[in-house]
Chain A
């Protein structure tokens, strides 16, 4: 871990906007309260309008919280302007200075800090080398590709040696292939520098593959915080479960515990699940959450729910079978299709669970 790395803490940060049409107050961010460890990369994940970008902008100083405190490395920065805090932001639209060359773009922050000329050149060259753009230093930003512009924006932020790097959907303007490359690159650079980073995205794959921890938000409220695998395997709500991956829900009642497993009844049938969200008690109406890979297909009557295969989608390493059941269309993933049986479209099948992977979630729609 880098010696310079600092923690970031948000204490009950709330941002209230006035809706221009209805003239009512809307909480864009509601009591956000979390801490980011030094050198950690945390992703704010959620659908658009969930308050993730507003949260990031408050950390960067572009918006003022209505209530609450923001502390970076022990210093209360809540009211400091952006130029007064040790954060650097990579903007969704990059915000490159169109009238300056790549070199001058990267040098901007150092010039403002009155860094001596020789050192300035050395540091800019270093930053450009880090993102692999050394040979394009003299170009105008308008003559760069999207990916290159993205790298310039990153270099420009990194060259001032910020304590916290803020990334606002930095990859959303890139095409799919480039996005995957840049994802790896950002992760590599962030870890190499050991810089604390906050990353905003609505793309779950991006969030999962990049982050040390993910913060899932909805309607201004933080719904869950945890490592990518925890968020994926052990979500605490239908919303989080659905937002971070493909999933099927079965309405059940939790009956009790039996030898480390939670026993539910699904339309009268007993189902055992190894996992349970802490909010669910015995006797509660609940949902059983099943990821496609935790489901198996068998002959009719063998499993917990019968249905008909409505479509098979071949993906190379796996096949996704869509099965129409009384619980809706259920997605079942069949790995190694060459070795396992793929039921043809139209055949009657039965779905059964992998007990270790399924989880009981609280009832309700959310």
Chain B
């Protein structure tokens, strides 16, 4: 804590470090300047010594020097000003000539001319503005034949900007080094719990470097034109009909998908929590399947079934002029893959509504329909809206499905991808991704301000064990019929993918083959291995980081906690395309050159999956009595030991599910990483996309099936591990 002695010691240490820091970096700058100056001087001397004494030869020499040393300003003076009566100027560089005319009498020029008259070269100590660049001037004499007298002078402008940029880099490095030292040393000196301090600093560092900084870069780019502030990018984006069409397309698709998904999700949730139909467990498992299945897989099977050469459309029905590509097909695929989100949200909501309320209504002689209308629906309404909003934002951010299935229909996520990779217009790409954020943010604030206020569900407390049956036999039959229909459709979609593995040429030749498997695995092996490696590296990092973050958020008090939480949670809310674009912008140049490495993919996975792990960790940790950790501390354990021996074992379920979630989501990522992959670090999902684009549906099916198997295996393993740890720890009950 802040005692006088500590503050004095701290300031003294800072002063010592600052002195060392400044000395080191100025020495570095000095030696760099010296080497750079030396090489430039050699170059200039070489140029000058080749200068001819004869006037006729000068233009040719200037030309030659210009081609061999491009970008170097040259001025040839025949005769020394102030010494020789006649001085002729031969300049290649207008700006340099102008500078000479203006400053010929200045002390720097006088010294240079004087040195030349003594047959010496002179490098100006000050730098001059030559046209757009800062440059130092080298004055070199031109000798006569006997090399004993100067007949003229060559002035070479040496670009200073390299030195300046190096000096700038060195300065910023010196400042960063000092700031890091001051922070770390400050924590070590003043904090009674340095480890927590370091964890906070580290997490802030990660959030700043890999969330705030890239997003800032992306935002900055949309407000720049030729290095200056300008609104022209936004003017262009908002004035472009094609882009606005894409925005409208995204919103329209989002609304359709959200509405369909909410309806289907509600029917499923109602069936599970308010009726007595059988097979609820199976239904739940089936309904959650699409949410964990890899991207492209459902689109792929929709194309296989309903595409231009689809099994249903061509082979069975032989439809003409039917196209699955566009809004219809997209909303179908998105609904199938996103209604589980609505289902999970709404079954949570329905289960939390106390059934005694409905029983009270039935008891007061209301009919089942009346009870549903007057009690169940109003209570579930905020849940319905929040499910709708959740699906809406997911639909907007969706990239994989439109990429394959949009056809000529425009959506923002794909549009921004095309801008960046196809047209190389990074600024427009980021602007479009940011535009995509607007509906998402609106949805988020509606959720925050309206839904959370109107939610009655929390009032009830413990859910009652028994749920009331609100469906009459007829309704139940209709509901069951509908649900079976949807379920059969989902199952047949997955069946199609598996079938696709064994068909020679889907749409044309339906004969059985095993050759797809071999070819797909050979060609996809590298991508599969690198995806597994990268996801495997990202998983433990994300798991540990998210648990540490959860401990900090729940258990520690520190300034800036809300900011840190917001920063860590941000990647969850922003579309993957924006993350991808901003990473390209931020990390494709020194000092942080990461584009093309595996590291950038790992970082991207970690940062994107951290929010989910954090949420899980926070929820679990909130249920654990803080005095357990306090007891450990009291018994002599330091923060690291507490984390290892108490916290981690207690939040093991959250830890495991965070890790498996990260692994699966990393394996199945598309939107952000499609910008970041390289030849060395390829990604399995992109491989599937490429196979599909090239109409190699058999190969795409094999890889999709492989991915599905991996995902299911990981989730199975997770459930096994979590169940084990649940058995292990029945927390000590507090009466």
Q: What is A's interface to B at a CB cutoff of 8 Å?
A: 60-62, 64, 78-84, 87-89, 91-99, 108-109, 112-113, 140-142, 146, 149, 153, 156-157, 160, 173
- With both chains docked as a complex, state the minimum distance between the C-beta of A284 and any C-beta of chain B, in angstroms: 45
Contact between chains at B192 and A81 (CB < 8 Å): yes
| 29 contacting pairs across A/B (C-beta < 8 A) | A61-B633, A64-B1, A79-B1, A79-B192, A80-B192, A81-B193, A82-B634, A83-B633, A83-B638, A84-B192, A88-B634, A92-B627, A93-B627, A93-B732, A94-B627, A95-B625, A95-B627, A95-B629, A96-B628, A97-B628, A97-B632, A97-B646, A98-B729, A99-B650, A108-B635, A108-B637, A108-B645, A160-B635, A173-B734
Contact between chains at A81 and B633 (CB < 8 Å): yes
Known pairs A79-B192, A95-B628, A99-B650; A149 contacts B638 (CB<8 A): no
- With both chains docked as a complex, state the minimum distance between the C-beta of B641 and any C-beta of chain A, in angstroms: 6
User: Which of A64, A89, A149 has a CB less than 8 Å from the CB of B630?
Assistant: A89
Q: Most chain-A CB neighbours within 10 Å: which of B635, B728, B730, B733?
A: B635
Q: Most chain-B CB neighbours within 10 Å: which of A82, A141, A157?
A: A82
Q: What residues of chain B lie closer than 8 Å to A112, measured between beta carbons? A: 632, 635-637, 641
Contact between chains at B731 and A93 (CB < 8 Å): no
Q: What residues of chain B lie closer than 8 Å to A80, measured between beta carbons? A: 192
Q: Does B649 contact A (CB under 8 A)?
A: yes
- With both chains docked as a complex, state the minimum distance between the C-beta of B620 and any C-beta of chain A, in angstroms: 13
Q: What residues of chain A lie closer than 8 Å to B1, measured between beta carbons? A: 64, 78-79
Residue on A nearest B1 in the bound complex, by CB = A79
Q: Does B488 contact A (CB under 8 A)?
A: no
Q: What residues of chain A lie closer than 8 Å to B641, measured between beta carbons? A: 112
Q: Which of B618-632 contact A (CB under 8 A)?
A: 625, 627-632
Contact between chains at A160 and B636 (CB < 8 Å): yes
Q: What residues of chain A lie closer than 8 Å to B694, measured between beta carbons? A: none
Q: What residues of chain A lie closer than 8 Å to B35, measured between beta carbons? A: none
Residue on B nearest A175 in the bound complex, by CB = B735
- How many residues does chain B have at the interface if contact means C-beta atoms less than 8 Å apart? 29
Q: Which of B698-715 contact A (CB under 8 A)?
A: none
Q: CA separation between A84 and B641, bound complex, in Å?
A: 14
- With both chains docked as a complex, state the minimum distance between the C-beta of B199 and any C-beta of chain A, in angstroms: 15
Residue on B nearest A143 in the bound complex, by CB = B730
Q: CA separation between A141 and B193, bound complex, in Å?
A: 30
- With both chains docked as a complex, state the minimum distance between the C-beta of B193 and any C-beta of chain A, in angstroms: 6
Q: CA separation between A98 and B637, bound complex, in Å?
A: 17
Q: What is B's interface to A at a CB cutoff of 8 Å?
A: 1, 192-193, 625, 627-638, 641, 645-646, 649-650, 728-735
Q: What residues of chain A lie closer than 8 Å to B627, measured between beta carbons? A: 91-95
Q: What residues of chain B lie closer than 8 Å to A93, measured between beta carbons? A: 625, 627, 732, 734
Q: CA separation between A314 and B363, bound complex, in Å?
A: 47
Known pairs A80-B192, A140-B730, A142-B730; A91 contacts B636 (CB<8 A): no
Residue on A nearest B624 in the bound complex, by CB = A98
Known pairs A93-B627, A112-B641; A156 contacts B635 (CB<8 A): yes
Contact between chains at A94 and B732 (CB < 8 Å): yes
- With both chains docked as a complex, state the minimum distance between the C-beta of A16 and any C-beta of chain B, in angstroms: 14
Q: What residues of chain B lie closer than 8 Å to A98, measured between beta carbons? A: 628, 650, 729-732
Q: What residues of chain A lie closer than 8 Å to B729, measured between beta carbons? A: 98-99, 142
Kindly list the 6 A-B residue pairs having the minimum CB-CB distance in the complex, ordered from nearest. A109-B635, A95-B627, A95-B631, A91-B627, A142-B730, A82-B633
- With both chains docked as a complex, state the minimum distance between the C-beta of A167 and any C-beta of chain B, in angstroms: 12
Residue on B nearest A93 in the bound complex, by CB = B734
Residue on A nearest B626 in the bound complex, by CB = A95
Contact between chains at A83 and B637 (CB < 8 Å): yes
Known pairs A81-B193, A83-B637, A97-B646; A91 contacts B630 (CB<8 A): yes
Q: CA separation between A140 and B730, bound complex, in Å?
A: 9
- With both chains docked as a complex, state the minimum distance between the C-beta of B561 and any C-beta of chain A, in angstroms: 14
Q: What residues of chain B lie closer than 8 Å to A141, measured between beta carbons? A: 732
Supply 7 further A-B pairs (C-beta < 8 A) apart from A79-B192, A93-B627, A109-B635.
Answer: A83-B634, A88-B635, A92-B627, A93-B734, A108-B632, A156-B631, A173-B734
- With both chains docked as a complex, state the minimum distance between the C-beta of A120 and any C-beta of chain B, in angstroms: 13
User: Which of B631, B645, B650 has a CB less than 8 Å from the CB of A91?
Assistant: B631
Contact between chains at B628 and A89 (CB < 8 Å): no
Residue on A nearest B641 in the bound complex, by CB = A112
Q: CA separation between A225 and B310, bound complex, in Å?
A: 89
- With both chains docked as a complex, state the minimum distance between the C-beta of B401 and any C-beta of chain A, in angstroms: 43
Q: What residues of chain A lie closer than 8 Å to B193, measured between beta carbons? A: 81
Q: What residues of chain B lie closer than 8 Å to A96, measured between beta carbons? A: 628, 631, 732
User: Which of A84, A146, A157 has a CB less than 8 Å from the CB of B735?
Assistant: A146
Q: What residues of chain B lie closer than 8 Å to A160, measured between beta carbons? A: 635-636
Q: What residues of chain B lie closer than 8 Å to A60, measured between beta carbons? A: 634
Q: What residues of chain B lie closer than 8 Å to A149, measured between beta carbons? A: 732
Q: CA separation between A241 and B627, bound complex, in Å?
A: 33
User: Which of B192, B636, B735 has a CB less than 8 Å from the CB of A173?
Assistant: B735
Q: CA separation between A231 and B514, bound complex, in Å?
A: 91
Q: What residues of chain B lie closer than 8 Å to A64, measured between beta carbons? A: 1, 192
Q: CA separation between A146 and B735, bound complex, in Å?
A: 9
Known pairs A83-B637, A141-B732; A95 contacts B630 (CB<8 A): yes
User: Which of B625, B632, B637, B733 has a CB less than 8 Å from the CB of A142?
Assistant: B733
- With both chains docked as a complex, state the minimum distance between the C-beta of B3 and any C-beta of chain A, in angstroms: 8
Q: What residues of chain B lie closer than 8 Å to A157, measured between beta carbons? A: 634-635
Residue on A nearest B627 in the bound complex, by CB = A95
- With both chains docked as a complex, state the minimum distance between the C-beta of B640 and any C-beta of chain A, in angstroms: 11
Q: CA separation between A83 and B194, bound complex, in Å?
A: 13
Q: What residues of chain A lie closer than 8 Å to B733, measured between beta carbons? A: 142
User: Which of B633, B637, B649, B735 has a CB less than 8 Å from the CB of A99?
Assistant: B649
Q: What residues of chain A lie closer than 8 Å to B735, measured between beta carbons? A: 146, 173
Q: What residues of chain A lie closer than 8 Å to B645, measured between beta carbons? A: 108
Residue on A nearest B194 in the bound complex, by CB = A81
Q: CA separation between A96 and B628, bound complex, in Å?
A: 6
- With both chains docked as a complex, state the minimum distance between the C-beta of B639 and any C-beta of chain A, in angstroms: 8
Q: CA separation between A92 and B628, bound complex, in Å?
A: 11
Q: CA separation between A95 and B641, bound complex, in Å?
A: 16
Q: CA separation between A186 and B481, bound complex, in Å?
A: 67
Contact between chains at A142 and B635 (CB < 8 Å): no
- With both chains docked as a complex, state the minimum distance between the C-beta of B733 and any C-beta of chain A, in angstroms: 7
Q: What residues of chain B lie closer than 8 Å to A89, measured between beta carbons? A: 630-631, 634
- With both chains docked as a complex, state the minimum distance between the C-beta of B284 and any C-beta of chain A, in angstroms: 29
Q: CA separation between A45 and B645, bound complex, in Å?
A: 35
Contact between chains at A82 and B732 (CB < 8 Å): no
Q: CA separation between A113 and B636, bound complex, in Å?
A: 7
Q: CA separation between A60 and B634, bound complex, in Å?
A: 7
Q: CA separation between A64 and B1, bound complex, in Å?
A: 10
- With both chains docked as a complex, state the minimum distance between the C-beta of B727 and any C-beta of chain A, in angstroms: 11
- With both chains docked as a complex, state the minimum distance between the C-beta of A91 and any C-beta of chain B, in angstroms: 4
Residue on A nearest B631 in the bound complex, by CB = A95
- With both chains docked as a complex, state the minimum distance between the C-beta of A304 and any C-beta of chain B, in angstroms: 47
- With both chains docked as a complex, state the minimum distance between the C-beta of A170 and any C-beta of chain B, in angstroms: 12
Residue on B nearest A84 in the bound complex, by CB = B192
- With both chains docked as a complex, state the minimum distance between the C-beta of A178 and any C-beta of chain B, in angstroms: 12
Q: What residues of chain A lie closer than 8 Å to B634, measured between beta carbons? A: 60-62, 82-83, 87-89, 157
Q: CA separation between A92 and B645, bound complex, in Å?
A: 22
Q: CA separation between A99 and B1, bound complex, in Å?
A: 35
Q: CA separation between A158 and B637, bound complex, in Å?
A: 16
User: Which of B636, B650, B728, B730 has a CB less than 8 Å from the CB of A83?
Assistant: B636
Q: What residues of chain A lie closer than 8 Å to B730, measured between beta carbons? A: 98, 140, 142
Residue on A nearest B734 in the bound complex, by CB = A93
- With both chains docked as a complex, state the minimum distance between the C-beta of A205 and any C-beta of chain B, in angstroms: 20
Q: What residues of chain A lie closer than 8 Å to B646, measured between beta carbons? A: 97
Residue on B nearest A144 in the bound complex, by CB = B732
Q: CA separation between A61 and B630, bound complex, in Å?
A: 10
Q: What residues of chain A lie closer than 8 Å to B631, measured between beta carbons? A: 89, 91, 95-97, 153, 156
Q: What residues of chain A lie closer than 8 Å to B650, measured between beta carbons? A: 98-99
Q: Most chain-B CB neighbours within 10 Å: which of A81, A140, A142?
A: A81
Q: What residues of chain B lie closer than 8 Å to A62, measured between beta carbons? A: 630, 633-634
- With both chains docked as a complex, state the minimum distance between the C-beta of A351 and any C-beta of chain B, in angstroms: 42
Q: CA separation between A82 and B650, bound complex, in Å?
A: 21
- With both chains docked as a complex, state the minimum distance between the C-beta of A33 and any C-beta of chain B, in angstroms: 20
